[in-house]
Structure 1
Amino acid sequence: MKGKRIASLVLAVIALLVSGGTIVAQDTLSSETIQAAFDMIWLVLAASLVFFMQAGFAMVEIGLTRAKNSGNIIMKNLMDFSVGAIAYWAVGWALMYGETLGGFVGSSAWFLSYPAGTDMSPLYRDWIFQVVFAATAATIVSGSMAERTKFTAYLAYSVFISGLIYPVAGHWTWGGGWLAELGFHDFAGSTIVHSVGGWAALAGAIVLGPRAGKYVKVNGKTISKAIPGHNLPLAALGVFILWFGWFGFNAGSTLSGTDMTIGHVATTTTLAAAAGAVAAMVISWIWFGKADVSMSLNGALAGLVGITAGTWVVNPLGSVIIGLVAGVLVVLSVEFIDKVLHIDDPVGAISVHGVNGLWGTLAVGLFADGVNDPSIVGLFYGGGFGQLGTQFIGALSYAGWTLVTAFILFLVIKKTIGIRVNEKEEREGLDLSEHATDSYSGFQIFSNL
């Protein structure tokens, strides 16, 4: 009986608190305040999910490369966010969201400074959500340049990508620039984040050159030699972390905790990732005779990148098709870049982010159904070639901007502080040569390179 009385009392108190809280909320909080609170909570939570993607990128890169470089990769993923966040605070935000100069670049709010009396709460909220996107663009480059890049060079280009290259690109669309005026649509960054990172990765891999022993001459013909990663389970963990974080990346880009399309975005994101993994598995199975693990993992990531631009404006069927194409493209692209172009990309970053960022951006012009935004209708839903043409212009502009600026950046670094470790340092591993550490102390690590 005593237990029943206590339970009844607890229920009564809860009921009183709930009803009383409702009365107080109605008396003291406006609907605008409640809306702002939901948005604050949602965006900070989404930013936290996107930040956790840094761990995912680190695990993927470590798993798909050799053990002797694991500590170096950890340091790169830690420091590209750290130096990038400071650069984005100092100049990146201003270039991206400051008062526009001709629709091409922002020009105010340096060091996140605004006139006295400005309500900074929503600005801090928006900054924390955007800085994690800037970090994503920078960390994509790490994978394609893994196992042979000087740590000082990595720090230098991380600052410039987070503080200059990405913010200017972001201003063109998300900052109200000339592509926004044109009607270009990239909901969460297939091109603005991922292709920018992917094209920068391409420029970096070309300027840097391949890892020692990656390409060999046999009877006058260049042959690509496989350099297996040392830990597929770790790479798989990284992919699952990235998939998890992508719900913050895409669904968070609704920018409101009361937006009822959050579920739609989460659904199309999931379906595209799943379709990408399935397609990559099937294609690799046909191509190599076995279902390839690393290709399947990259297929999931390719589907995620592919859906990021159109996740809000395509329906579930469209998202599955986008993911399936992405999964096929990533396998073909990885093989083409490695075996034909002889560009060494240890984790497939160029194919996952650059190629499929391009595909996802163009897919908006094909699969947008006009339901959530009647002004964005793709070719397959009766919209003609208008949106597709706009998407092509935007994708081409971002590719041109990033490739030109990234090539200049990497060449300047190469000619000044140097971009690559020497052959001896590369062979002994960057953990020892760059950080005087051993990621697997007590284990004997064998390498034929």
Structure 2
Amino acid sequence: MASPLVCSAAALSPLLNSSSAADYICQQIANNSALTSDATTAVNAVYLLFSAYLVFSMQLGFAMLCAGSVRAKNTMNILLTNVLDAATGAVFFYLFGFAFAFGSPSNALIGRRFFGLSSIPDFSQSYDYNYFLFQYCFAIAAAGITSGSIAERTQFGAYLAYSSLLTGFVYPVVAHWFWSNDGWGSAFATSNLLFGSGVIDFAGSGVVHLVGAVAGFWGAFIEGPRMGRFDHSGKSAGGLKGHSTSLVVLGTFLLWFGWYGFNPGSFLIIAKAYGQSGSVYGQWSAVGRTAVTTTLAGATAALTTLFVKRLLVGHWNVTDVCNGLLGGFAAITGSCAVVDPWAACICGVVAAVVLISCNMLAEKFKYDDPLEALQLHGGCGTWGIIFTALFAKKEYLQEVYPGRPATSYGLLMGGGWRLLAAHVVQIVTICAWVSVTMGSLFYVLHKLKMLRVTPEEETEGMDVTSHGGFAYNEDAGEKDKPWASYMAAQA
């Protein structure tokens, strides 16, 4: 970046033969420089706020996807949990989460400033309210992933307990490790980088997707499968499909739209030149490239899923394609800013294969996850972490992470093993941390009989037993209505 223009009245006076004119010109230049700086700050603030709004819109995507993926008798329940993920997350991330994640200066394990947003704005850390809002939207995204795993059989109080702990403590600690300036695994650290490289998890294949998936795994594993999901021989009964493909597709497109804030927005600022001021190449170019890699990874994953599932099951399945698309997005999230578009296509193809393989394993081991959250966000998120370590490009890393050693980049791009080693450590530590914390919570709730609803409640549906009625207000008294017959069959 070029140095700002400095006007010297002493040097200018002899040329103008007037000290007053020189003072006036220098004052005007100083005023214009200040206005330019303010405008740049405002542009960056608006960019981050707009990105935050896009990420928040993903909550509507999660809500529609979850609602369409469960049976009609549990629609109101899953919608309410999605609303409360956002509401509960706002309070707990405000009180504790932001401080634990980004409360610098701190130690390498956990933040310790800004509880309740005290001392915000803090311009020494470049933290303003817009930064808090953006990070809050990421925290509730992780909680939304978990809610899908334990859908249709979980007591409402358990939802509130896990959402509070995840957004207020578990997720923020991981975010501190890999995204703050003080974190032990962060690529933004000024010294003692992990394996001399640090972890490159740009928008959170590990920090968001793997965290939410592992938390959901423990809830679903401890609860066990939904009634009727598997028969007595352990084979899939195949009768628990979601009630609305339309809602699944709507949710998928809303999530796709929100991902353009999730990934490109993670640059935090856009008005930054790479090189001399006035260059046509800058962070705005990287933002555009990131949107392109995100799009291509999702698209290739969707197409791969379409044709592979056609070969496996003999028909074209839109729900599988939607999940494949989202799996591609989850995989590219960590590397979206530091890989080329051609590499993003590879990421998407492999993500689809990973998702299909994980679904086969889940069925083999009788693991029931109505939203395929572990397989999608966990499996594809893990692949995304490894993919980054293989394909991260040296040039892009130097632009996005200028403080890192230039010698550490993707293994298949000639950068050696250090980045891959750091990413393996990231996977192991996230799985261990979330297992200890969230696994313990779900186990305690299970022992206290506060986790799973009774068989009678599960059979009847939680909309009736916990929320006062069905989400769809059809007249069930008219037995000749198709909907009434459908509801009777669901019960």
TM-score, length of structure 2 as denominator length: 0.83
1:379 counterpart = 2:415 = no
Choose which of 365, 382, 387 in structure 2 pairs with 1:358. Answer: 382
Q: Which residue of 2 aligns with 1:86?
A: 91
- Give distance in 2, aligned partners of 1:31 and 1:187: 29
Pair 1:252-2:258 in alignment: no
* Native 8 Å contact 2:224 2:367 kept in 1: yes
Aligned to 2:140: 135
Q: Distance in 2 between matches of 1:378 and 1:53?
A: 30
Aligned residue among 119, 124, 128 for 2:129 = 124
Partner of 2:370: 346
Structure-2 change in CA distance of 1:115 and 1:241 (3 Å): closer
- Tell me what 2:289 maps to: 264
Alpha carbons 1:40, 1:122 under 8 Å: kept? no
- Aligned: 1:157 with 2:166: no
Residue 415 (structure 1) aligned to one of 430, 447, 463: 447
SS class of match (2:235): strand
**Comparing 414-423 with 328-337, which one deviates more in the overlay?**
414-423
**Aligned mates of 2:184, 2:289 — CA distance in 1:** 28
| Structure 1 position 100, deviation (Å) | 5.5
Kindly indicate whether residue 344 of structure 2 is the aligned counterpart of residue 332 of structure 1.
no
**How far is the alpha carbon of 1:139 from its aligned partner?**
0.8
Stretches of structure 1 that go unaligned for 5 or more consecutive residues are: 1-22
SS in structure 2 at match of 1:395 = helix
1:226-247 per-residue CA deviation (whole Å, 9 max, x = no partner) reads: 2111100110110010000000
2:181 aligned with 1:169, yes or no?
no
Q: Which residue in the other structure is 1:222 paired with? A: 234
Greater mean alpha carbon deviation, residues 98-107 or residues 200-209: 98-107
Residue deviations 1:94-145 (CA, integer Å, cap 9, x gap): 1101136540111121111018997999421110000000000011011111
Structure 2 residue 470 is the aligned partner of structure 1 residue 438: yes
Distance 1:448 1:387 in 2: 50
Q: Which residue pairs with 1:17 in the alignment?
A: none
Amino acid at match of 2:224: G
Amino acid at match of 2:185: L
Partner of 2:489: 447
User: Counterparts of 2:121 and 2:312 in 1: how far apart (Å)?
Assistant: 62
**Conserved 8 A contact 2:392-2:410:** yes
Query: In the alignment, is residue 402 of structure 1 matched against residue 434 of structure 2?
Result: yes
Q: Deviations over 1:63-93 (max 9, x none)?
A: 1110111111110000011011100000001
AA aligned to 1:247 is Y
C-alpha separation in 1, matches of 2:61 and 2:267: 23
| CA shift for structure 1 position 31 | 2.7
Answer with 238-247 or 426-435: which moved more.
426-435
The aligned counterpart of 1:388 is 420
1:205 maps to amino acid: A
Alpha-carbon spacing, 1:194–1:33, altered in 2? closer, same or farther (3 Å): same
By how many angstroms is 1:34 displaced? 1.5
RMSD over aligned Cα atoms: 2.0
Amino acid at match of 2:237: K
Q: Which amino acid aligns with 2:234?
A: T
Structure 1 residue 32, shift from structure 2 partner? 2.2
Distance 1:448 1:76, change over 3 A: closer
Tell me if 1:192 matches 2:207: yes
> Would the alpha carbon gap of residues 308 and 428 (structure 1) be closer, same or farther in structure 2, given more than 3 Å must change?
same
- Where does residue 12 of structure 1 map in the other structure? none
Q: State the partner residue of 1:61.
A: 66
Query: In the alignment, which residue of structure 1 is the partner of 2:56?
Result: 51
- Residue 274 of structure 2 corresponds to which residue in structure 1? none
Cα deviation for residue 351 of structure 1 reads 0.8
The verdict on how the C-alpha distance between 1:242 and 1:58 changes in structure 2, with shifts beyond 3 A counting, is: same
- For residues 361 and 121 of structure 1, the distance between their equivalents in structure 2, rounded to whole angstroms, comes to 27
In 2, the alpha carbon distance for the partners of 1:188 and 1:303 equals 14
Q: What is the identity, as a one-letter code, of the residue corresponding to 1:273?
A: G
Q: Identity across aligned pairs (percent)? A: 37
Amino acid corresponding to residue 233 of structure 1 in structure 2: S
Q: Secondary structure at the match of 1:410?
A: helix
- The alignment status of 1:316 with 2:341, answered yes or no, reads yes
TM superposition shift of 1:437: 2.5
Q: Which amino acid aligns with 1:272?
A: A
Structure 2 unaligned regions, length at least 5: 1-27, 187-192, 272-282, 399-405, 475-482
**How many angstroms does 1:224 deviate by?**
1.5
CA distance in 1, matches of 2:226, 2:121: 53
1:175 corresponds to which letter in structure 2? Answer: S
CA contact (8 A) 1:153 1:417 kept: no
> Deviations 1:394-433 (Å, cap 9, x if unpaired)?
1111111112211101112223460111111111111111
- Alpha-carbon separation, structure 1, partners of 2:175 and 2:127: 19
**Counterparts in 2 of 1:222 and 1:417: CA distance versus 1, 3 Å:** closer
Aligned to 1:424: 456
Q: Secondary structure at the match of 1:371?
A: helix
Deviations 1:270-308 (A, max 9, x none): 000001101111111111111222111100000000000
Structure 1 residues 293 and 117: alpha-carbon distance in aligned structure 2, compared to 1, 3 A threshold: closer
- Please identify the structure whose Cα radius of gyration is greater: 2
| SS of equivalent residue, structure 1 residue 105 | coil
* CA apart distance, 1:446: 3.8
User: Which whole-Å deviations, capped at 9, do the CAs of 1:172-200 have from their partners, x for residues lacking one?
Assistant: 01123000131111000000000000111
Equivalent of residue 179 in structure 1, options 171, 185, 190: 185
The match for 1:212 is: 227
Q: What is the Cα deviation at residue 24 of structure 1?
A: 12
From the superposition, tell whether residues 119 and 191 of structure 1 become closer, same or farther in structure 2 (CA, over 3 Å).
Answer: closer
